[in-house]
Amino acid sequence: MVGERNRRDGIAVLVVEQNLHFVQRLGARCKLLDKGRMVFECSARQIVEDRELQHRYLGV
């Protein structure tokens, strides 16, 4: 519902979520924060597919 509303109405929604597959289904852009500062921006798909990003920023 959130992703559909975003695409249909162009409404920005902030989702704080650790489940990358859920975020990827939203078709979202991700902003990775460290101590309150944005350190990286990419698509959710990029994070799901890039193990180095997961390890560096998400501790996976």
Buried b (16+ CB within 10 A) or exposed e, 33-42: eeeeeeeeee
Residue 2 predicted with pLDDT over 70: no
Do residues 50 and 44 make contact, with C-beta atoms less than 8 angstroms apart? no
Contact at 8 Å (CB) between 32 and 40? yes
| Predicted confidence (pLDDT) per residue in 19-35, tens digit | 878 878 877 788 888 88
- The domain limits of the chain are 2-58
Would you list the DSSP string of 2-14? HHHHHHHH-----
pLDDT(47) > 70: yes
User: What's the pTM?
Assistant: 0.60
C-alpha 24: how far from chain center? 7
Query: In the predicted model, is pLDDT for residue 52 greater than 70?
Result: yes
